[in-house]
Amino acid sequence: DAKTTQPPSMDCAEGRAANLPCNHSTISGNEYVYWYRQIHSQGPQYIIHGLKNNETNEMASLIITEDRKSSTLILPHATLRDTAVYYCISTTSNTGKLIFGQGTTLQVKP
């Protein structure tokens, strides 16, 4: 599975879009990019995933660059409840195992 690199922390103003970057420059052709988040002292929560096309669901949008070496998770209107650690994971998805990096701590401020 490709190694991912994320900034350790970011701030975002409440109501504004939060854009969380992830670098996965060694990603292979059959590896998906998954995003999870973990609110303090809870289990992680699935957000979104994609292979090469941009994806959108009720929680967020995922923008993957054409060369697939990086991606951005977009929370369109961040709220205080979006304060969490966000994990970007690249995996072939055939084992179910997730290897978590350090993630990005997003602090949404009023």
Q: How far is residue 29's CA from residue 27's CA, in Å, rounded to a whole number?
A: 7
87 touches other proteins (CB under 8 A): yes
86 binds other proteins (CB under 8 A): no
Distance of closest approach, residue 41 Cβ to other proteins, in angstroms: 7
Helix (H, G, I), strand (E, B) or coil at 58: coil
8 binds other proteins (CB under 8 A): no
For other proteins, how many residues bind (rule: CB under 8 A)? 24
Counting contacts by CB under 8 A, is residue 103 touching other proteins?
Answer: yes
